Structure 1
Amino acid sequence: MKFSTASPVFFIFSLVTAAAANAVPVLALPWGEDGEGKRKGDYGYGGCDGGGTRSPTRRADDSADISASLIELHKNLCEIPSVAPNELAVGDWLATYLESRSFTVEKQEVARNRNNIFAYLGNESQTRTLVTSHIDVVPPYINYTYHSNGTITGRGTNDAKGCVAAQIKAVEALLAEGLIGEGDVAMLFVVAEETDGAGMIKANDLGLTWESVIFGEPTELKLSLGHKGVLRFNIQAFGKAAHSGYPQLGINANDHLVEALYILSKIQFPGSDLLGDSTLNYGVMGGGTAANIISPYANASVAIRLAADPLLVKNLVNEIVRGRSITLTWFERFYGPQYLDHDVEGFETEAQAYGTDIPNLKGNHKRYLYGPGSIFTAHSDAEFVTVTDLIESVEGYKALIMHTLS
């Protein structure tokens, strides 16, 4: 089973006109019979379609209902602003939705008005598999817009409310098909992934363990091989203020900062064959009080995307700046490269350069990373996901869930 946009497994859609751009679309399903009594949309799950294991089929009218409800769920999630730390409204809506689908729902308080949403079947919160993603987004809020070409734009459409919607619909579908039951799968949707990871860190207090955890982030429908780690520090430079007409009377902190950043930017950091180079970015800089005053203070915030051991990189940075007129302050929280499980047939694979909540969830579980949309548009004013990718990701999540339970 190959999950690609060219696969006949997935739907070809007749989309509504541009005049209905903001409405939930009605999706036509044009597949026919293949001559053996099965529709071209029928499927089995990777690793679960032989030897007496479970292998369902689906009907076109069932798929049409699932597709329309997926787009509606995605729309509702995206239309509720949830720029961190203001995730309360979307969390409350999601909890109500899941309860209406007969899931048991717990709200786990992370901070005042910030709740993780944890859902499972029946009374069994301890399950074999967990599917999880995040409900917070980066600023600014951008309106949800459904376009007649099957593209959906807006904040969170791929990062990561596309994952949230597809994961929920995957679980709902497997439940309706009788393939999962109480004790098999739980869902966890966390806050604060885009900031400090406080939501997933708090999830450790649930006191639960899983055999497998399926994380949702935009991976272009590819199963992740791994992703880079992150190491952060601040730089401070101190000088002495003076009139800019007499620079010899002062010490320019900006000069010290710029020189240090230039040297750091030229370091060839160690990397790996899988993840490539470790890369440094100084994303925030500040200094000085006025153009006619020698700057007495300057600072910068730096992040390194790690493809190598974090302590090795940290020691290299410290050695490079040793003896310079700057001070480095390292963030306490950091993590190294993450190497993930990908033992599932039928998926393309790829490594990612971004970070996720994966290292924040402790345990010995298998770790899978998958989702619709591209990180290349996430966090931008052009963020989008396509309808076909959303639909395909539901099938991908179903296959991953069934693999973990096989």
Structure 2
Amino acid sequence: MRFPTLSLLLLAHQAQAFQGQHPIHEPSISSTSTSPLLKLHKGLVEHESITGNEHNVAKYLISYLKDQNFTVESQDVGPWKGSTNPRENVFAYIGKQRKTRVLVSSHIDTVPPFWPYERRGDEIWGRGTVDAKGSVASQIIAVEELLAAGTLEEGDVALLFVVGEEVGGDGMKKANDLGLSWETAIFGEPTELKLASGHKGTMGLEIVAKGKAGHSGYPELGKSANAMLVPALNLLLNVELPYSEKYGNTTLNIGTMEGGVAANVIAENAGAKIAIRLADGTPAVIEKIILDTLLKADEELDVFFSSGYGPVYIDSDVPGFDTIVVNYGTDIPNLEGDHKKYLYGPGTIMMAHSDHEHLEVKDLENAVKGYKALIEHALK
């Protein structure tokens, strides 16, 4: 019996395709937004910024922050794969002091597809309204209000808005080149206005099967890559993965599958891409479990693992906030340094990445209050 071969290779994480996704409602006429918070949020959402195409929203944000008398730096991140479009992080602070005690940060990219801002009564719809332009807008207004109240001084707070969070985190990784460190970093993501006390880890893999094409009427003359792949995936669906009391089960999602060219042709090639959310352990532990499981399929399969990380602890010691554990990934592991970490923001992840992404006006308004409380706590 020929022993199966399994090869390992680190691959860059790929964006999920949302080409078939459309909003579940027909657009209606937007009402006029009057408050600075709603105006800023609307301006951010109206600028399409799918990962790789963040330049226009960055320019808008730079202009806005300069108008509010922030000192603004643009940090070049470089074009997205296969593109020549410029991309930049936006770093802003008060006066001349770029070294601050607190960093307030979120991301300005979104998942595809784009659809525009729409106001429906007390609800605001559109791509990025929740993830994460709601956080960006409320963070900025929170800092502005603290400045107006005389609570902040030079050296207290900096703002950092990064590209690429949705696909690999290249913006936040580049931010490490700023050469700065902070006592506290406050990250913005949809947490239902609760403090997240941690989130699951993440990693990905791709399984590729190589068969031999032939006529489906003579299966003995070929070897079906689909028939090689399906049993392997079935084994993974039934494998026991690490569990923890805090984060629950480690979950495995077969996100994409493809194979073959026609029903009457033996499939020569097949593949699947899988995302794993780690509740316990490390990517190395999960890799061993996956490889040991796939060996039981007794097929020649190539396995490509993407880089990842285990569960992430997040500080949640601020009085007056409820707490939550979230299953999604963030930029928190991508920012180097020995700082306290908080994760907070308006909206729910259940709306993010969906065909019904929206939040309520009161969520944005309450988030401003929440960010102000977090900043003030960090500066005590």
TM-score for both structures, normalised by structure 1: 0.83
User: Aligned pair count?
Assistant: 345
Percentage of pairs with the same residue: 52
How far is 1:199 from its partner?
Answer: 0.2
Write out aligned runs for 1:65-144 (5 A). 68-112=35-79, 113-144=86-117
1:4-403 paired onto structure 2 within 5 Å:
21-25=30-34, 68-112=35-79, 113-148=86-121, 150-310=122-282, 311-322=284-295, 324-325=298-299, 326-331=301-306, 333-403=307-377
Cα 1:218–1:19 change in 2 (3 A) is closer
Residues 93-113 of structure 1, C-alpha deviations (whole Å, 9 max, x = no match): 100100011100000000041
Q: Is the 8 A contact 2:136 2:161 kept in 1?
A: yes
Residue 146 of structure 1 aligns to a residue in which SS?
strand
Whether the aligned pair in 1 keeps the contact of 2:28 and 2:118 (CA below 8 Å) is: no
CA-to-partner distance for each residue in 1:315-362, whole Å, 9 max, x for gaps? 11111112531121111x211100100010000101000001110001
Structure 2: runs of 5+ lacking an equivalent: 1-26, 80-85
The DSSP-based 3-state class of the residue aligned with 2:244 is coil
CA–CA separation in structure 1 for the residues paired with 2:371 and 2:30: 27
> Letter of the aligned partner of 1:330 in structure 2?
F
- 1:191-231 deviations in Å (ceiling 9; x for gaps): 00011210000000001000000000000001001001111
Letter in 2 for 1:318: L
Q: For residues 120-174 of structure 1, what are the alpha-carbon distances to aligned partners after superposition, in whole Å with 9 as ceiling and x for unaligned?
A: 00111110000000000111111111112x1000000010000000000000000
Deviation at 1:376?
A: 0.4
In 1: Cα distance, 2:295 partner to 2:240 partner: 17
Normalising by structure 2, report the TM-score.
0.89
Return the alpha-carbon distance in structure 1 between the equivalents of residues 126 and 32 of structure 2: 14
Q: Take 1:19 and 1:338, find their aligned partners in 2: how far apart are those partners? A: 40
Structure 1 Cα separation of the partners of residues 293 and 98 of structure 2: 50
The structure with the larger Rg is 1
Aligned-residue Cα RMSD (Å) equals 1.3
CA distance in structure 1 between the partners assigned to 2:361 and 2:293 by the alignment: 49
What is the CA distance between 1:262 and its match in structure 2? 0.7
Distance 1:141 1:20, change over 3 A: closer
Looking at structure 2, the residues matched to 334 and 229 of structure 1 have their Cα atoms a distance apart, in angstroms, of 7
CA distance in 1, matches of 2:271, 2:75: 37
SS in 1 for 2:136: helix
Greater shift after overlay, 174-183 or 267-276?
267-276
**Aligned equivalents of 1:19 and 1:295: distance in 2?**
47
Aligned residue type for 2:33: V
Query: Which amino acid counterpart does residue 296 of structure 1 have in structure 2?
Result: E
3-state SS of paired residue (2:257): strand
Per-residue deviation, 1:239: 1.1
- Deviation of 1:312 (Å): 1.7
Amino acid at match of 1:80: H
Deviation, 1:21, is 3.0
CA distance in 2, matches of 1:96, 1:380: 30
Matched residue, 2:17? none
Q: Which runs of 5+ in 1 are unaligned?
A: 1-17, 26-67
Q: Contact 1:142–1:381 at 8 Å: present in 2 too?
A: no
Q: Deviations over 1:46-77 (max 9, x none)?
A: xxxxxxxxxxxxxxxxxxxxxx1100100011
User: Which residue number in structure 1 is paired with residue 83 of structure 2?
Assistant: none
Residues 285, 300 of structure 1: 8 Å contact kept: yes
Note if contact 2:280-2:311 (Cα within 8 Å) is conserved in structure 1: yes
CA distance in 2, matches of 1:256, 1:106: 52
CA distance in 2, matches of 1:87, 1:22: 26
Aligned counterpart, 2:7: none
Mapped partners of 2:131, 2:255: distance in 1: 21
Report the secondary structure of 1:111's partner residue.
coil
1:53 aligned residue: none
